[in-house]
Amino acid sequence: MLKRREAIATLMANRPKEMFVVPGLGSTTYDMASLGEKDTDFYLWGAMGGAAMIGLGLALAQPKLKVAVITGDGEMLMGMGALATIGVQRPANLAVIVFDNRHYGETGMQPSHTDKGVDLVGVARACGIARAYDVQDQAGLEKLAGELVALKETLFARVHIAADDPPRVLPTKDGVELKNRFRRAVAAAS
């Protein structure tokens, strides 16, 4: 089973400069921040369920950029309707990656619905996202990292990770600063 910090490092190792990342609430934010804060990362504080739709909006508004939403299973379950909208819009520059530890990590590690059989990859495919992958091991993760670099079609991936709890690395919590620096980065890349 994959460890989340190692998984995020693998995915971002060859991150293209035009890739903007929207990490979801909680552990994926901490994991992205552990790699060092970047102006091209838009951290969500208190916006559970919103990462995929924010990523979709950015992808549609800025088709020259590559956009990766990296979130957890709890957030994706909360915002599952986003997959239907993404499947209808299908922006070629959007990837949605779900780190699935089968637990609601931010509320006490209760088993999530994916632990009870909800198949997020199947949901993504049913919503019209043809490139939907279930990543179980390092080889699959490395293949996914290559897909991110060459992103040319809407992509969804569920990455099965261990239910571990590495030390939190918190990015800035100043929402105005996050918004402003992200906007500057988007403007500079456009």
CATH code for position 183: 3.40.50.970
- Let me know if 111 is exposed, middle or buried by CB neighbors in 10 A (0-12, 13-18, 19+): exposed
pTM of the full structure: 0.93
Task: Return the pLDDT at 108.
Answer: 61
Number of C-beta neighbours around residue 170 at 10 A: 12
Neighbours of 142 (CB within 10 A): 14
Q: What angle do CA 169, 174, 64 make, to 5 degrees?
A: 85
What is the domain count for the chain? Answer: 1
Please give the residue range of the domain that contains residue 180: 4-189
pLDDT of residue 11: 96
Weakest-pLDDT range from 52-61, 146-155, 168-177: 168-177
| Contact yes or no for 30/79 (Cβ under 8 A) | no
Quote the Cα angle for 151-9-174, to 5°. 90
> 22 φ, ψ to 5°?
-115, 95
Q: What is the average pLDDT across 51-70?
A: 97
Q: What's the pLDDT score for residue 105?
A: 63
